[in-house]
Amino acid sequence: MPILDEIKKFDINKCLRENFHLNKNPFTPKELFSDGLTADEVKTHDRVFQGRKEIVESIITGIRAGDSYKSVLYGSKGVGKSSILNLCLYALSNDYITIKIRILKEDVNEKVFQKKILRAVATALTSRILKTDGLNLESIRKKIQQFFKPGAVKELDATAALAFLFSSDQVTYEESTQDKEAINLHLGPVPIGFTMKSEYVNAAKTMTSYAHIPETDLMRILKSAHKLTWEFGFKGIVLGIDDGDKLNDAELERMLLNLLKGMFYADAKYHLMVVCARDVIELDVKDLFSDNFISPLSKDDVLRALNEMYKSESVGEKEIYDFFDKEVLAELYEESNGLMRDAVILCGECIKKACSEKKERIDKDVFNSVRVREEAAAAVKLMTMNHISTEYKVVTYLMENKEGYSSDENFQKSVGVIQSRLTQILRELENKGVLKSRKEKRRRVYFLKGGIEEVLKY
Ligand SMILES: Nc1ncnc2c1ncn2[C@@H]1O[C@H](COP(=O)(O)OP(=O)(O)OP(=O)(O)O)[C@@H](O)[C@H]1O
Ligand SMILES: [Mg+2]
């Protein structure tokens, strides 16, 4: 059949519905508890989210019990760090101002960083005030007036609070038509009709106009932000900084933690959660941050999570076990090393593969053709046609001995090459998806990737 007709005929949704009782493919990786979910989505995420009880509890308790709990989260790519961060922020969002920031390379710079954080905190607070008090502008106005009442607050603090409000995307002002010495503050789209003395305003503008806000001013601004937060009935401010580990540069990561340390040192009443890579924590910020290693999930947790994902899109009472062979799920867990992202992607690929082959079950055949990349399968097939090739010898050695490393003389002898060449071949075979490896002390140990043996046998 011509390709265009073939494509037209192949309807993945029809297959998902008829063969797998699914509305759509539920196995797409996405962070759990991300911002802006509907109530129903939160319920689904809550069912999918497994394990992590201890770590989540210790973070939440740390925050609720003190006034400046700071922690770093680290762990493998795709293990579930962001989801934990999101969950903690979500769980605290009722009575705390919670903010999530994804950090980028260009943010790790003293000038950009301060302003980015200030702006995020100020925007979060003002948006939240507007949302909570609805359009009850009168009450907002009263609270702000109360806050700035002469005598209740020192002039410098009032200036700092105003500087903080100006950092927000939600706050604007215009000069008053009646009083030359005053301006009208707007919060959100509607003016709150609050009048400020222009000398305060000018001082606040100066405070934020520097490329780099002087430390004493910055401290004052952060403090007044915290006071404003209380004024509006929130218990505190929680900042979640994600993707510190995506900077891929230890120097930048260290700088990020030091910038945070400088900004939120000891008595600053802010709570921090920072995702970063491990080697950085061991150095100079241990005194301030408690560290949390995020381990891969257990097999039971991964399978439960996958089943809940399946159920979230299923029509009827079916479960994942009705379509996936038990052994496949066990191997799929091994293959993913407990990293949920990898497990989810593999499940999704299996379903797509089964649909393209018009199958109604995910058995070992489907799973193997998914996990062994085409490039790897082709490389292995080629080897089996040439038994004197070094690659073939490497692969058969690993089949017999389960694993091997390039400095092993037996391995070198049986392949007939010196160490440097063996290292090279092992690396190439890993890149092609034929081998996998793990680091063991100072050496790298290689073994056959799951499914490769089956390809070798045919
Ligand atoms: N506790 C959990 N239970 C079930 N599924 C989870 C859990 N945590 C994460 N996942 C799933 O795992 C995948 C990866 O999660 P997440 O994005 O949170 O990981 P990450 O560690 O932040 O990844 P990255 O290193 O790429 O930033 C997502 O598909 C998510 O739905
Ligand atoms: Mg993440």
CATH for 321:
1.10.8
Distance 323 CA to ligand 1 centre (A): 24
CATH for 87:
3.40.50.300
Distance 307 CA to ligand 1 centre (A): 15
pLDDT digits (tens, 9 = 90+) for 255-310: 888 888 888 876 678 999 999 876 655 656 667 788 889 999 999 999 999 999 99
Nearest protein Cα to ligand 1, atom 9: 80
Question: What share of the chain in percent tops pLDDT 70?
Answer: 94
Please check whether residues 380 and 350 belong to one and the same domain: no
Distance 330 CA to ligand 1 centre (A): 19
Please check whether residues 250 and 218 belong to one and the same domain: no
Total Cβ atoms within 10 A of residue 18: 12
Please check whether residues 245 and 193 belong to one and the same domain: no
Q: Is residue 416 part of a domain?
A: yes
Secondary structure of the chain: what % helix, strand, coil (to 5)?
Answer: 55, 15, 30
Please check whether residues 259 and 208 belong to one and the same domain: no
CB of 31 within 6 A of ligand 1: the answer is yes
Please check whether residues 207 and 187 belong to one and the same domain: yes
The structure tokens 């090393």 sit at 337
Please check whether residues 149 and 207 belong to one and the same domain: yes
CB of 103 within 6 A of ligand 1: the answer is no
Query: Considering only CA atoms, which of 261, 297, 293 is closest in space to residue 277?
Result: 293
- Write down which residue in 313, 348, 371 finishes a domain: 371
pTM for the model: 0.86
Task: Return d(Cα 182, Cα 162) in angstroms, integer.
Answer: 14
Identify which of 11-20, 32-41, 136-145, 349-358 has the greatest average pLDDT. Answer: 32-41
The structure tokens 């943010």 sit at 107
pLDDT digits (tens, 9 = 90+) for 338-387: 899 999 999 998 998 888 888 889 998 889 888 887 788 888 888 888 88
Q: Is residue 116 part of a domain?
A: no
pLDDT band at 419 (very low <50, low <70, confident <90, very high): very high
Q: Residue 75 corresponds to which tokens in the numbers above?
A: 């762990």
Nearest protein Cα to ligand 1, atom 11: 340
CB of 80 within 6 A of ligand 1: the answer is yes
Residue ranges making up the domain that contains 267:
52-96+235-293
CB of 85 within 6 A of ligand 1: the answer is no
Q: Is residue 427 part of a domain?
A: yes
Q: Is residue 30 part of a domain?
A: no
Task: Return d(Cα 426, Cα 404) in angstroms, integer.
Answer: 10
Mean of the per-residue pLDDT values of the chain: 86
CATH for 415:
1.10.10.10
Q: Is residue 165 part of a domain?
A: yes
* The predicted structure's pLDDT at residue 282: 60
Distance 341 CA to ligand 1 centre (A): 6
- Write down which residue in 204, 225, 246 finishes a domain: 225
Please check whether residues 247 and 287 belong to one and the same domain: yes
* The predicted structure's pLDDT at residue 267: 64
Distance 50 CA to ligand 1 centre (A): 10
- Write down which residue in 225, 247, 266 finishes a domain: 225
Please check whether residues 412 and 452 belong to one and the same domain: yes
Total Cβ atoms within 10 A of residue 373: 15
Q: Is residue 114 part of a domain?
A: no
Residues 344 and 27: beta-carbon distance below 8 Å: yes
CB burial readout 228-251, b (16+ within 10 A) else e: bbeebebbbbbbbbbbbbbbeeee
Distance 83 CA to ligand 2 centre (A): 7
| Count of domains observed in the chain | 4
Q: Is residue 1 part of a domain?
A: yes
DSSP secondary-structure letter at 249?
-
What would the mean pLDDT of 196-210 be, rounded to a whole number?
Answer: 79
User: Which DSSP string do the residues of 403-444 spell out, in sequence order?
Assistant: -B-TT-HHHHHHHT--HHHHHHHHHHHHHTTSEEEEEETTEE
Nearest protein Cα to ligand 1, atom 13: 341
Please check whether residues 203 and 142 belong to one and the same domain: yes
- From 55, 83, 292, the mutation candidate for ligand 1 (largest count of ligand atoms within 8 A of CB) is 83
Q: Is residue 43 part of a domain?
A: no
